[in-house]
């Protein structure tokens, strides 16, 4: 090729194109587009040349899941729930009722309540001590302090509660309060609970992590000293 033709070829090249004889600044594979994402395993192919697979994923900020939102009890259903006849609970005694309560996530969960009788008064509470959130009964259906039978008592550390208000008046959770439930005796002598949302038809499931009543009563360590109770 003459010097003249060579200069003509160079003048026909598109403006800005590197001369054919120029040394490429990148290898052929480097010149190919690079890209990909996790899970893409096929190399990029163009013009018969295999491209280089290079991860170019953008850094993603760490995804921190939101803390679980504790479900809260569903609003009261407006229903009245007849729980038992008033004669089923003896004076200065109580009775525990495992129920299923509806929560804001729509689920039913075991919920243990007790009704304590103090003369003609009936008081219902959630069966959970505010101190360490264990059941209160130190023996089956026994919720009253055994010497004077005037105060409710937790069997684990002996906190004592006013039966009418549920306020702890002595013991490790002094000043705390049991969760009270609206309770009254209706015309048919049934003890009725209100202001809650429960399902009396639902099968009672075991409370998660909650030992059975018998286990609690065996393990709470409470030693009954003496009692003045004389009725049967």
Smallest gap from residue 110 Cβ to ligand FES (A) = 19
Comparing CB distances to ligand FES, the nearer of 36 and 172 is: 172
Q: How many CA atoms lie within 13 A of 192 on its CB side?
A: 13
Member of 36, 172, 195, 211 binding ligand FES (CB under 6 A): 172
Instruction: Based on the shown chain and the rule CB under 6 A, indicate whether residue 142 belongs to the binding site for ligand FES.
Output: no
Q: How far apart are CA 192 and CA 186, in angstroms?
A: 7
Closest CA to 211 of 135, 136, 139, 158: 135
Closest CA to 98 of 204, 203, 7: 204
Smallest gap from residue 195 Cβ to ligand FES (A) = 24
In whole angstroms, what separates CA 121 from the centre of its chain?
A: 35
Comparing CB distances to ligand FES, the nearer of 102 and 131 is: 131
Smallest gap from residue 90 Cβ to ligand FES (A) = 23
Comparing CB distances to ligand FES, the nearer of 101 and 131 is: 131
Member of 115, 151, 154, 181 binding ligand FES (CB under 6 A): 154
Number of residues that bind ligand FES (CB under 6 A): 11
Site for ligand FES in 105-134 (CB under 6 A): 129, 131-132, 134
Q: How far apart are CA 23 and CA 209, in angstroms?
A: 74
Comparing CB distances to ligand FES, the nearer of 51 and 159 is: 159
- Note the residue count of the chain: 232
Member of 157, 180, 213, 217 binding ligand FES (CB under 6 A): 157
Comparing CB distances to ligand FES, the nearer of 49 and 132 is: 132
Member of 142, 145, 159, 191 binding ligand FES (CB under 6 A): 159
Q: Which stretch binds ligand FES (CB under 6 A): 47-55, 101-109, 138-146, 151-159?
A: 151-159
Comparing CB distances to ligand FES, the nearer of 101 and 156 is: 156
Question: In this structure, are residues 109 and 204 in contact, taking their beta carbons and an 8 Å threshold?
Answer: no
Interacting residue ranges for ligand FES, rule: CB under 6 A = 129, 131-132, 134, 154, 156-157, 159, 171-173
């Amino acid at each position: 090729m003459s010097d003249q033709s060579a200069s003509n070829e160079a003048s026909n090249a598109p403006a800005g194109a590197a001369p054919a004889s120029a040394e490429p600044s990148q290898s052929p594979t480097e010149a190919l587009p690079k890209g990909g994402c996790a899970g893409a395993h096929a190399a990029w192919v163009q013009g018969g040349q295999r491209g280089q697979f290079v991860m170019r994923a953008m850094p993603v900020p760490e995804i921190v899941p939101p803390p679980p939102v504790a479900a809260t009890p569903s609003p009261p259903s407006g229903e009245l729930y007849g729980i038992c006849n008033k004669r089923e609970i003896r004076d200065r005694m109580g009775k525990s009722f495992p129920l299923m309560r509806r929560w804001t996530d729509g689920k039913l969960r075991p919920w243990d309540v007790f009704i304590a009788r103090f003369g003609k008064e009936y008081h219902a509470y959630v069966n959970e001590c505010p101190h360490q959130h264990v059941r209160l009964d130190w023996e089956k259906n026994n919720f009253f302090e055994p010497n004077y039978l005037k105060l409710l008592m937790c069997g684990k550390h002996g906190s004592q509660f006013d039966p009418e208000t549920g306020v702890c008046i002595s013991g490790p959770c002094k000043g705390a309060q049991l969760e009270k439930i609206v309770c009254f005796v209706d015309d048919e002598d049934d003890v009725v609970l209100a202001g809650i949302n429960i399902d009396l038809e639902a099968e009672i499931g075991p409370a998660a992590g909650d030992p059975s009543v018998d286990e609690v009563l065996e393990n709470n360590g409470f030693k009954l000293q003496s009692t003045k109770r004389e009725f049967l």
